[in-house]
Structure 1
């Protein structure tokens, strides 16, 4: 019995142990996932308890750092919330109550300035606390990394379109509405002047202001706010668009279609001669009345911002309203084909611009009007240079022609005759006054010293250049005697053709006498070196000693006549192609040659001719009679008729105009011949 009881007890004990094992197994199986979860949460728990492990001083100080960082951030958030409270007022139409609208807008600007100034500060404080936490190991690295990323994003947002990010674009919308109101005020209150051709004769007075004072006052208020928000340039664009359109509308009645003509639409100035006359009147009216009024209005509207802004606005307005078109038309005239009328029309343009010189300087004299100044300057320069082109090209061409060969026949170069004739015309009463003024300006552009006698001094320089040309050309002749003819011709041309003329009076009697004396000098030296040498060949030496020996005397006469004939033929042949341009000088030169040879030859033949005339070969030695020599000599230096392409142009009335000649001369550089 005792054994059975022990077995039963053992059985129960084993069963209990088995149940406990099963329960333990079940508990272990159930605890496995929880242990895994605890294992995974251990790093987070470690990070959470890290501050407990930080130094005590760091834990104590962290609170103050956090408070300093959170304070500015909270203030920024409070103001940011206030900004949204202004939306309703700023989304309304400023036309209803402009004063109240501008007041609310100013509040928005102040709020945004606060946000702009303090957002960066708040971010800086937050960055400081992050840095503190990191240095003192008070926070987890991953947590700090996330904070840094967030702060970096905030910093980038602050730097990128700051205001739009802060107010959601409310300020931009409000400013756009103000621009719209500015445009409306300008457009609805700008009224074109009723213009017509008769308006030019009536010369109406300029109104005190093209805009009502009340409108200008409202514009001042709008400009103040828009300028404060960096929208001045857009304001100027709106103003220029509205007011320039008004000026254009005012000019429509003047029929300015001709200003749009291109240079390809006409061949010469004559075809638009009437338009050029109108151009001066229209330009004067536009400047003195329309642009003058706009200049004053710009000053009134932008006076508080500054004169530079006012002038800049007016410059843009004037350019868009038509002043550029006026100047372009004038420039087009300067670029047109040359003709006599063009010179006169260029002077008309110059006179118109000169009349408006003070107005242009006052209205368009500022740095903002640089484009208009440049175009005006270019036009004046083109007009003056176009008018002076022929005159200045005279000197240039004279100097250039110095490198060209002189006439092969020793005559007066066409350049010399042209220049002397044209200079006389320039000094005439018709051209001199206006041309003098033009030349004075032209000289000042070259920064040369001003001279009262600018025109005459310039012409004297041309004549001096001609004289230097003559000296240079004379040295290029291989035949020295031909150079004497050349110099004689030109000195006589100066004397005869300039004596009693404007140019001659300018050069003076002493200058003229000097050239007359040079003519005599070269005529004398020419005769001495040519025909003057021939009489020595008809020497009588030895002939009287052989009075008893006719044969010997005959041989000497034959020899001397042969030498004379050969020398005469050679000289005559060579000089038969030479030319003395002036008829009187030609006849006198021929007569001097006749006087140098014929009397000597006649006497010689009378005395010794019979010695050879009875000879079988008499014609070989007694080749010429005195009358034949005289006829041959008087036939020298005749101008040969050569057909040249005419460089002369005539008006419809048939009169030759020196300007036409000069124009043709300079279209293709004149030759010396």
Structure 2
């Protein structure tokens, strides 16, 4: 039996109290004939409802053992609903026109029996149809009718077959969705009937209890638990990373399926009352929604200055919430659940601040790097790989970073930027491309640091080779990533030109003494003694240059081959002409093989083995010495222990002025 004390409208109080609490049902003609006829009809309605309603009264002798009315026979369920609604109309009429009617007390008792039955049906449908009412099924509904299938039945005296009812419940959806729509239709008609009869509290209580447990269980299965701040702050970042990854997946399911499904179900079942809809959804979803969006805020607050590498997880969180924001606004639009929206917005704001802090820390990390260790052979520095990997990864988040950087304009030296950046990049900044300028700035800061690293090499040629290798890596990274779209072709052209300039400077610094050891092209013919001196000078210069450069590295295959060809084109033809012109004049010399050690073809072989990091040479013909790492001492002794020194003015500090500008710019902030 329904709890009589909970019903304000239909209680066990006196008839006068009952009469005063009911509103007028309808306005009828005041003639005695009409009143008598209407009263008779209403009393007959009460009598007709008695047999049907009492059939489902557990205390009635005629009570059927069938547990569920709606699952037993939908025709009887429709008839029961019709009787309850007719009974309500009859009671309204009797209260307004014939409050002393003996049938009014009977109608009240029947109504209490009917409400008790519907309360049990409502609870049972909610409990036994979890599969049809799970959020995924509900949120997947392509359309949910705003009217119950029972409404059509109330307007007609003809019963319809169950297949027709099912068809009406969901004509345009799948069989699974039809079953879901049918269950929702049952809940809606019961809820509307109970609420209209003044028994809304009993209905709402069951709904909140069951649906809240489903939402809480759903979040638990998604791995979302209530976070305690003290415990969270002690959690290691290595533990947080998989938590964040799981949260991103869980949040999408939670918002688009779990909460969306609950909102659709709540709106459908309680479509007759916006107040009840809001109250139910608040009880079901408010606490769960706050638990869901607590983690991003805690992550953003965890460290005042998070390390740069944290930025990607922070941006993943920011992106996830931003993508879900339209759904969040629609689902949590009630004032009572505004706390969920507020928390989501707060998380976005705090994540923005943390992301910008990471960017600032990244730039600072580059500038503060003071390691003096040099890379063997002028190869690619570890800082180059990590920096460009980081910047390349940042470019994949260009939309997020553009939104964040728009609120944090780059404080910069305009004159320096204008001298370094191309005009299109600066103009694009005004078209929401602040990310292009910022990433280009970060690369500039790094290139200045790279120039400082190059100064650590004692050999000028190795400094240039170091710049060649590392700038080549920078350019390749830009060209092969999303950075190309952000920085543009002009940026690549400019840095390709800088790269070629460094390569040319390397040739000059590394091979200048070799080029200078050959005689200039003049009409003057050298004497045999002068030719012997030139051969000796050339051999000494070449062997020294080779021994230095054979330990150097060029990682890019194309650039390596281009540089070898460039050196060979400058050196081999000149030496071949000298060799062929003066070798005949020295045929009579003793130990000619020691004097003229290299044939022109040998030079090409030696040059082809350069830039692999080790001198990979095979012994040449009898006219040349065997030069390898194992024979280095022999080579040195053959030169009498003398060392040829290359003196080339250092000019590789191309970014020196820029470095000073950056330092001054940072100090003035």
TM-score bin, normalised by smaller chain: 0.3 to 0.5
* Larger-gyration structure (1/2): 1
TM-score by length of 1: 0.46
Identify, as 1 or 2, the structure richer in helix: 1
